[in-house]
């Protein structure tokens, strides 16, 4: 029996072996660069970027992906070491998709996802086409959704509508962002206008937006794939992805339902497939069936594998999605393909004699998706069972909590009762000592700190110690004493401040009086000088 292998690991192809050696060398180099958990990751990435000639962002993604691969995904790592088929972009795609799990994913979940990724990326046939990074990421996202309680994740915020324009010297662009159904309607109108005028869609859009030509009415078709035998199963909206039950119910209103089981065996005498047949093939294939091509099936042409002119039927069994480019290659007989009806494996044969096999049926109703939906159904049942068990555990925890809380409350109340009894006894003793005036220092009863504090409180604050009132705890007494001492301190500080202010005012007054006396003395001296000096009126007269 032959050993399965991927085309990128084909031992008979020198080019495949050359790149396999390159991948092994890259892993050998990069595995030595994975930093320890306590190292400064930013410094490590900056250093690696300088010496590897790559951007820090690329280095960061690569190191994080290798860290997850070697420490969290041992089964996938073992498959890699056996085949050396996964390059860094594929490892990064896996890590990016798994990052949606968040930091709280349990080891059991990680281990199960690891097993399923390892199984998915283990070759099952000879010369198998290796899935592209996009396809791998899509499959891992499905696994993540399977284990995420929020399947599918729905953003509760309303979708925004944005128009963005970019004007440059040579060309300009205009982009519109809106909910999918609105964009789909606009695109259908543009297509209808382009068909009516015989122009491109870009020209038709400009004609409609500028008002030069009215938009043609068009029927908008939203294609939704959902399992009819699984309650609350996720559904696949063509061109968007997986959506939740709320969206499914909304889109069901006024929808035309096509039974995929019936469409799978439908056939028409016409060359053009019916809507039901086309929808089924698009949902089954997901993308162009050419190995490694990711063009969505709804943007592809449907190829009659056995030519229609030679008697090939127009049915899903003979129709496969091929993008225009690869359809032309097949039509030019530069390549052909054979589909195994039992295993759904597609064998591509090329004019140079080489061949490759592909197991991809990536559509929402393909074989892989059917297995995933069944797993999803099982996961729903398991999650509900686990939720019930967690609910019972939570109820037991709540009962135990309230039981412990009741016991703690009882202990606290017993403690308060004891304190209240001691409080009453101390109050009565303090009152007796006050009445008798027996407060001399050698009275042994004053050795009781509580009694001493009570008597001090009576003298300083005048607290009413009537035991018939609500019994105040000791903390309240201590608080009042502290408040009294604080008030006394504030009063003393205020008095000292007033005293200092008065002293300063007196000093200023004395300085002012002294200045006035000095000024009066100087004025008196000036007057005396004027009276003793006689100025002659005639210059010839002597001054005496």
Q: Are 364 and 236 in contact (CB under 8 A)?
A: yes
| pLDDT number for residue 480 | 61
Which residue is listed with tokens 């696994």?
143
| pLDDT number for residue 69 | 94
| pLDDT number for residue 265 | 87
Q: Which residues contact 92 (CB under 8 A, 6 or more apart)?
A: 61, 62, 65, 133
Cα–Cα distance for residue pair 44/49, rounded to 1 Å: 9
Residue 364: which of 223, 216, 252, 483 has the closest Cα?
223
Which residue is listed with tokens 């004019």?
351
| pLDDT number for residue 436 | 56
Residue 76: which of 56, 60, 97 has the closest Cα?
97
Pair type for strands 172-177 and 162-167: antiparallel
The most distant pair of C-alpha atoms in the chain lies apart, rounded to whole Å, by: 158
Helix, coil or strand: residue 240: coil
SS (H, E, C) 291-358: CCCCCEHHHCEEEECCCHHHCCCECCCCEEEECHHHHHHHHCCCEEEEECCCCCCEEEEECCCCEEEE
Cα–Cα distance for residue pair 375/367, rounded to 1 Å: 12
List b or e across 263-281, with b for residues whose CB sees 16 or more CB atoms inside 10 angstroms. bbebeeeeeebeebbbbbb
Query: Which value, in Å, is the radius of gyration of the alpha carbons in the chain?
Result: 46
Which residue is listed with tokens 């195994």?
340
**pLDDT tens-digit profile, the chain (544 residues):** 578 999 999 999 999 999 999 999 999 999 988 888 778 888 888 888 888 888 989 999 999 999 999 999 999 999 999 999 999 999 999 999 888 887 777 788 889 999 999 999 999 888 999 999 988 998 898 788 776 544 343 444 455 677 777 777 667 787 888 776 677 778 878 888 888 888 888 888 888 888 777 765 555 566 766 666 555 555 666 665 666 666 666 766 666 666 777 888 899 999 999 988 988 888 888 889 998 888 888 889 999 999 999 999 999 999 999 999 999 999 888 999 998 887 788 899 988 888 888 876 677 777 655 554 445 455 545 544 554 555 566 667 777 777 887 887 777 776 666 555 555 566 666 656 555 555 555 555 445 555 555 556 555 555 554 444 444 445 555 566 666 677 777 778 778 877 877 887 788 788 888 888 887 777 776 666 555 545 455 555 554 4
User: Phi/psi of residue 144, each to 5°?
Assistant: -60, -45
| pLDDT number for residue 298 | 85
| pLDDT number for residue 293 | 87
DSSP 182-195: HHHHHHHHHHHHHH
List b or e across 505-522, with b for residues whose CB sees 16 or more CB atoms inside 10 angstroms. eeeeeeeeeeeeeeeeee
């Amino acid at each position: 029996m032959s050993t399965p292998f991927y085309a990128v690991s084909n031992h008979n192809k020198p080019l495949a072996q050359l790149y396999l050696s390159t991948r092994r060398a890259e892993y050998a180099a990069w595995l030595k660069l994975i930093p320890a958990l306590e190292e400064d990751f930013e410094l490590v990435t900056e250093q690696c970027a300088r010496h590897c000639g790559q951007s820090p962002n690329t280095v960061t993604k690569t190191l994080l992906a290798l860290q997850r691969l070697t420490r969290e995904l041992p089964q996938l790592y073992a498959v890699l070491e056996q085949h050396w088929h996964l390059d860094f972009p594929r490892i990064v795609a896996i890590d990016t998709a798994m990052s949606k799990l968040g930091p709280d994913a349990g080891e059991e979940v990680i281990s199960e996802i690891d097993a399923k990724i390892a199984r998915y990326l283990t070759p099952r046939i000879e010369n198998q086409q290796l899935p592209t990074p996009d396809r791998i990421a899509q499959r891992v996202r499905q696994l993540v959704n399977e284990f995420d309680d929020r399947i599918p994740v729905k953003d509760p915020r309303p979708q925004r509508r944005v128009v963005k324009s970019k004007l440059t010297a040579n060309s300009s662009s205009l982009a519109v962002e809106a909910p999918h159904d609105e964009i789909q309607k606009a695109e259908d109108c543009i297509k209808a206008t382009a068909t009516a005028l015989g122009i491109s869609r870009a020209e038709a859009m400009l004609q409609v937006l500028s008002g030069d030509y009215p938009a043609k009415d068009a029927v908008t078709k939203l294609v939704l794939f959902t399992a009819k035998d699984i309650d609350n199963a996720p559904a696949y909206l063509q061109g968007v992805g997986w959506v939740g039950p709320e969206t499914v119910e909304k889109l069901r209103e006024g929808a035309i339902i096509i039974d995929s089981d019936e469409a799978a065996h439908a056939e028409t005498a016409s060359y053009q497939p019916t809507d039901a047949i086309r929808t089924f093939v698009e949902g089954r294939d997901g993308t162009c069936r050419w190995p490694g091509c990711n063009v969505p099936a709804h943007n592809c042409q449907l190829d009659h594998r056995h030519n229609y002119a030679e008697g090939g039927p127009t049915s899903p069994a003979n129709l496969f999605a091929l993008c225009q480019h690869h359809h032309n290659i097949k039509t030019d007989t530069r390549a052909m393909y054979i589909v195994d009806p039992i295993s759904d494996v597609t064998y591509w044969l090329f004019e140079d004699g080489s061949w490759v096999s592909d197991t991809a049926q990536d559509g929402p109703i393909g074989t892989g998706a059917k297995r995933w939906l069944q797993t999803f159904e099982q996961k729903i049942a398991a999650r509900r069972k686990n939720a019930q068990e967690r609910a019972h555990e939570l109820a037991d925890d709540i009962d135990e909590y309230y039981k412990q809380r009741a016991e703690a409350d009882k202990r606290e109340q017993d403690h308060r009762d004891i304190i209240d009894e001691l409080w009453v006894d101390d109050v009565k003793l303090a009152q007796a000592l006050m009445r008798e005036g027996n407060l001399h220092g050698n009275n042994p009863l004053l050795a009781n700190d509580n009694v001493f504090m009570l008597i001090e409180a009576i003298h300083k604050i005048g607290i009413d110690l009537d035991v018939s009132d609500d019994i105040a705890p000791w903390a309240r007494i201590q608080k009042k004493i502290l408040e009294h001492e604080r008030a006394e301190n504030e009063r003393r500080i205020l008095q000292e401040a007033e005293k200092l202010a008065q002293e300063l005012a007196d000093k200023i007054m004395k300085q002012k009086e002294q200045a006035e006396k000095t000024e009066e003395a100087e004025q008196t001296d000036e007057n005396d000088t004027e009276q003793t000096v006689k100025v002659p009126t005639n210059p010839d007269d002597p001054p005496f």
